Amino acid sequence: GDSVTQMEGPVTLSEEAFLTINCTYTATGYPSLFWYVQYPGEGLQLLLKATKADDKGSNKGFEATYRKETTSFHLEKGSVQVSDSAVYFCALMWTGRRALTFGSGTRLQVQP
């Protein structure tokens, strides 16, 4: 079945450092891919998405590119802030199924 694999956390960075959180998926075909962010004590918020190969999703300085060759959707940000500290979930969804399959999440801690 479909699955999403994320790098284990926590990832601890200093403010203004470069961020990469790896995400790979296993699926037959080309699902839509998402990054969600969960701040402490809150629900999930959609951060960005890509619906087809080579699409780049971007939002709030975060970017991720849908790479079908490597079945990856790595999250990047050039300069993290303390306020980016949260748990980041990679997810996939098939059109028509209407259900998300999440990775296990990666906790990011940004220190001042």
Partner 1 sequence: DAMVIQNPRYQVTQFGKPVTLSCSQTLNHNVMYWYQQKSSQAPKLLFHYYDKDFNNEADTPDNFQSRRPNTSFCFLDIRSPGLGDAAMYLCATSRDQAYEQYFGPGTRLTVT
Q: Smallest distance from the beta carbon of 69 to partner 1, in angstroms?
A: 23
Residue 100, beta-bridge partner list: 93
With contacts defined by CB under 8 A, name the span among 16-24, 46-54, 57-65, 76-84 that binds partner 1. 46-54
Q: How far apart are the C-alpha atoms of 11 and 13, rounded to whole Å?
A: 7
Query: Does 105 engage in binding with partner 1 (CB under 8 A)?
Result: yes
Residue 68, beta-bridge partner list: none
Joined tokens for residue 97: 């199924």
Q: How far apart are the C-alpha atoms of 64 and 49, rounded to whole Å?
A: 8
For partner 1, the closer CB: 2 or 17: 2
Among 2, 27, 44, 59, indicate the residue that binds partner 1 (CB under 8 A): 44
Q: Smallest distance from the beta carbon of 14 to partner 1, in angstroms?
A: 24
